[in-house]
């Protein structure tokens, strides 16, 4: 036994949680029951370990306890077939006797991520299930992070589990020919969690789980499991390079400070260095992909001493490449904004006229915000004020609206 | 994205729910609520009591003044709302179109502002 003052039991439990659930689900199927049993085992550990100390084999301890709970549950259900599945495997077999070597560290976290991000689930369910089953967050924590009632979030999780059951999804790695595509789905879910939590303010919502930090933790986990996958590395780098700027993004109250006006000394150098290192490694060892390019763009910003001294032609080139391999109107809009910085506002406005009628951008406030900024650079203050106001009306984000209104008033 | 579905009443719509077809309408709402609960999209909602119980507050010469009853000029009165958390305004509109009140009086679908999030600008 380790001494009771051993730190960070919660961190250990959140790291082991997905491994325990993975081990159970691989052995027994029945994802929903395994998930419940794992939660109970984690709860038991959270209560016991601070007093009694961490067992020598914490993972084996958790698997043993969870397996016992699973068997109890199945017995209580008095489902004959399920009983045959598990009663031949007494939970005790997982618990190594003192002094015995630790069981092999078979990490099923990756399989678990693939299951939670299965394309048959809705994005909302993928996110909820990933945070619960892999992230180890409680339903209440996830609900509060997304500002929805706990019952709504509970329903999303239970619906996801029902879909898994009804579709007969197996707890196994996707076949090799589907793996790349399924991995992209996992990365996308982690990216969605990150952008949801990419908050401008850290203060007023102390109860809120920091989703951006959680997304980074999950991306690190994925990167550890698949260190050679360039896009996984690129995703982690993109998150770190973006997250590094968080302190400079928020002004007093709800004010939003745009990249150009941020105090760059507030950017977190350690996260930037880590992001740059990961990116360089991915770019030199793996096939290029959209996350790596987005991380490369973030890196150009992070390396620039000021907005004026930013290598804008490089950013234009990166956006052009990004659009080619991952066509997306928002990337096109970002390229336009970079063109204005590289070649002047007239060139930017001309580029905007080429894309503004794309129906996928209809009603998007960023079109007007980018136009406003270019008109301001061109000296057309009246036109800029009109466009800033239009953008303010179209955004649904409060800090952004305040920023755009203030900009319009300043013209 | 969260959207509020605003449900308005005009003269007569509230009585529809206590009239002969009222039970069928209530069942229709119950079924839709159950569906939205099951899909994890329902994030809130309330029905308001009769407009006769309203207290209105209006500014008069820079100070708020209270009067009984709804604002006199309103033809359609706010009667209740739903909050849905769903993929797009198209999906929220689809839900509003299926809400039975939409056949009798106005409804509005409006995005709810969020305070955090947002990208670098």
How many other CB atoms are there within 10 angstroms of residue A76's CB atom? 8
Tracing tokens 């391999």 back to the chain, one arrives at A325
- For range A54-74, the mean pLDDT: 91
CB B17 within 8 Å of CB B25: yes
Cβ–Cβ < 8 Å for A270, A307: no
Asked if B1 has any chain A CB less than 8 Å from its own CB, the reply is yes
Taking the C-alpha atoms of residue A220 and residue A210, their distance in angstroms, rounded to an integer, is: 16
Contact A320, A305 (CB under 8 A): no
Please give the mean pLDDT across all residues of chain B: 90
Angle at A405 between CA A399 and CA A407, to 5 degrees: 105
Give the per-residue pLDDT at A195: 85
Q: Does B121 touch chain A (CB under 8 A)?
A: yes
pLDDT > 60? residue A93: no
Contact residues for A267 (Cβ-Cβ < 8 A; gap 6+): A244, A245, A247, A248, A302
Residue B73 has pLDDT above 80, yes or no: no
Is the Cβ–Cβ distance between A350 and A371 less than 8 Å?
Answer: no
Which one of B37, B114, B117 has the shortest CB-CB distance to A155? B37
Task: Please say if the pLDDT value at position B118 is more than 90.
Answer: no
* B85 contact residues in A (CB cutoff 8 A): 124, 146, 148, 152
Sign for the CA dihedral angle at B48, B54, B60, B65 comes to negative
Nearest chain A residue (CA) to B36: A152
- A196 to B117: CB separation less than 8 angstroms, yes or no: yes
Write out chain B residues lying below 8 Å of A125, CB-based.
40
User: Which two three-digit tokens encode residue A159?
Assistant: 């619906």
Mean pLDDT of A226-239: 96
Average pLDDT over residues A20-36: 91
Q: What per-residue confidence (pLDDT) applies to A204?
A: 46
Calculate mean pLDDT across residues A52-63: 92
Q: Determine whether the interchain pair A124/B112 forms a contact, defined as Cβ–Cβ distance below 8 Å.
A: no
Q: Could you tell me which residues are beta bridge partners of residue A397? A: B114
| pLDDT at position A242 over 60 | yes
Phi/psi at B114 (5° precision): -115, 150
pLDDT one-digit tens code per residue, A362-388: 889 999 999 999 999 999 999 999 999
- Joined together, the tokens standing for residue A202 give 């850290």
Q: How confident is the model at residue A88 (pLDDT cuts 50, 70, 90)?
A: very low
- pLDDT confidence of residue B119: 56
Which chain B residues touch A124 with a CB distance below 8 Å? 40-41, 85, 87
Least CA distance to B42: which residue of chain A?
A152
- On the question of pLDDT at A86 being above 60, the answer is no
Encode pLDDT of A331-345 as tens digits.
Answer: 999 999 999 999 999
**How close A201 gets to chain B, by Cα (Å)?**
7
Residue A342 CA, distance from chain mean position:
31
Calpha distance A224→A270 (Å, rounded): 19
- Report the phi/psi class of residue A31: left, alpha or beta, with left for phi > 0 and alpha for psi in -120 to 50: alpha
Q: What is the mean pLDDT of residues A3-25?
A: 82
Q: How far apart are CA A21 and CA A62, in angstroms?
A: 10
**Rounded mean pLDDT of chain A?**
87
CA dist B74 and A321 (Å) reads 55
Residue B107, SS3 per DSSP:
strand
Give the percent of chain A with pLDDT over 70.
Answer: 87
Query: Is there a contact between B117 and A195 if contact means CB atoms under 8 Å apart?
Result: yes
A vs B: CB pairs below 8 A: 81
From the number of C-beta atoms within 10 Å of its C-beta (0-12, 13-18, 19+), residue B2 rates as: buried
Categorize the per-residue pLDDT at A98 as very low, low, confident or very high, splitting at 50, 70 and 90. very low
**Which chain B residues are Cβ-neighbours of A198 within 8 angstroms?**
117-119
Q: What is the predicted pLDDT for the residue at A97? A: 45
Test A159 with B112 for CB contact under 8 angstroms: no
Per-residue pLDDT reduced to its tens digit, A250-291: 777 667 888 999 999 999 999 999 999 999 999 999 999 999
Q: Pick from A365, A361, A363, A402: which is nearest to A387 by CA?
A: A365
Distance between CA atoms of residues A145 and A351, nearest Å: 38
Is it the case that residue A205 has pLDDT exceeding 60? no
Angle between helices A230-243 and A290-303 (to 10 degrees): 30
Distance (Å, whole) CA B104 – CA B100: 8
Q: Check CB contact of A403 with chain B, cutoff 8 Å.
A: yes
Query: Which whole-number Å values give the CA distances from A247 to A70, A98, A199, A374, B67, in the listed order?
Result: 45, 48, 10, 26, 47
Q: Which residue among B40, B44, B113 sits closest to A398, beta carbon to beta carbon?
A: B113
What is the least distance, in Å, from the CA of B87 to any CA of chain A? 8
pLDDT of residue A349: 97
Q: Is A78 left (phi over 0), alpha (psi -120 to 50) or beta?
A: left
Q: What is the pLDDT of residues A353-365, one digit of tens each?
A: 999 999 989 889 9
In the prediction, which pLDDT does A381 show? 97
Q: Which of A:8-37 have CB within 8 Å of B?
A: none
pLDDT score of A141 more than 90: no
User: What confidence tier does A77 reach under pLDDT thresholds 50, 70, 90?
Assistant: low
pLDDT at A353: 96
B117 pLDDT tier (thresholds 50, 70, 90): low
* Residues of B in Cβ contact (< 8 Å) with A148: 2, 43, 85
How many residues would you count in chain B?
121
Give the residue extent of every domain in chain B: 2-49+76-111
Class of B2-49+76-111 in CATH:
alpha beta
């Amino acid at each position: 036994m380790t001494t009771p003052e051993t730190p960070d039991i919660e961190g250990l439990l959140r790291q082991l949680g997905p491994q325990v659930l993975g081990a159970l689900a691989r052995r027994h199927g029945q994802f929903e029951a395994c998930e419940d049993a794992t939660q109970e085992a984690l709860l038991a550990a959270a209560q016991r370990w601070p007093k009694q100390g961490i067992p020598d084999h914490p993972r084996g301890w958790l698997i043993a306890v969870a397996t016992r709970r699973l068997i109890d549950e199945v017995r209580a259900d008095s489902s004959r077939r399920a009983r045959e599945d598990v009663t031949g495997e007494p939970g005790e077999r997982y618990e190594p006797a003192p002094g015995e070597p630790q069981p092999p560290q078979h990490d099923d976290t990756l399989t678990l991520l693939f299951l939670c991000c299965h394309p048959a689930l809705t994005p909302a369910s993928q996110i909820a299930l990933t945070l619960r089953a892999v992230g180890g967050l409680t339903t209440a924590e996830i609900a509060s992070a997304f500002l929805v009632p706990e019952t709504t979030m509970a329903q999303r999780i239970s619906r996801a589990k029902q879909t898994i059951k009804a579709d007969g999804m197996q707890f196994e790695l996707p076949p090799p020919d589907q793996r790349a595509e399924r991995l992209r789905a996992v990365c996308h879910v982690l990216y969605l969690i990150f952008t949801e939590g990419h908050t401008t303010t850290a203060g007023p919502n102390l109860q809120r789980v920091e989703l951006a930090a959680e997304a980074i933790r999950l991306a690190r986990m994925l990167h550890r499991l698949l260190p050679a996958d360039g896009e996984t590395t690129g995703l982690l780098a993109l998150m770190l390079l973006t997250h590094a700027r968080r302190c400079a993004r928020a002004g007093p109250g709800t004010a939003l400070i745009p990249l150009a006006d941020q105090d760059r000394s507030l950017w977190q150098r350690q996260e930037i260095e880590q992001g740059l290192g990961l990116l360089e490694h991915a770019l030199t060892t793996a096939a290029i992909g959209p996350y790596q390019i987005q991380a490369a763009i973030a890196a150009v910003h992070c390396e620039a001493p000021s907005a004026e001294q930013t290598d804008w032609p490089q950013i234009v080139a990166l956006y052009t490449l990004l659009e080619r391999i991952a066509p997306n109107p928002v990337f096109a809009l970002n390229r336009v904004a970079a063109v204005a910085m590289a070649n002047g506002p007239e060139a930017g406005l001309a580029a905007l006229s080429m894309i503004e009628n794309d129906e996928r951008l209809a009603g998007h406030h960023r079109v007007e915000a980018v136009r406003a900024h270019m008109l301001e650079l061109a000296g057309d203050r009246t036109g800029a004020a009109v466009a800033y106001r239009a953008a303010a009306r179209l955004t649904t984000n409060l800090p952004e609206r305040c920023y755009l209104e203030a900009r319009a008033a300043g013209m | 994205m969260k959207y509020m579905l605003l449900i308005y009443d005009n003269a007569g719509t509230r009585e529809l729910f206590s009239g002969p077809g009222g039970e069928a309408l209530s069942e229709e709402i119950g079924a839709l609520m159950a569906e939205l609960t099951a899909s994890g999209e329902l994030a809130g909602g309330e029905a308001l009591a009769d407009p006769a119980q309203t207290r209105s507050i209006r500014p008069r010469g820079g100070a708020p003044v209270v009067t009984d009853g709804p604002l006199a000029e309103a033809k359609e009165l706010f009667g209740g709302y739903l909050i849905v958390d769903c993929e797009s305004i198209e999906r929220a509109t689809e839900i509003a179109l299926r809400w039975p009140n939409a056949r009798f009086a106005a409804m509005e679908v409006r995005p709810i502002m969020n305070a955090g999030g947002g990208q670098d600008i």
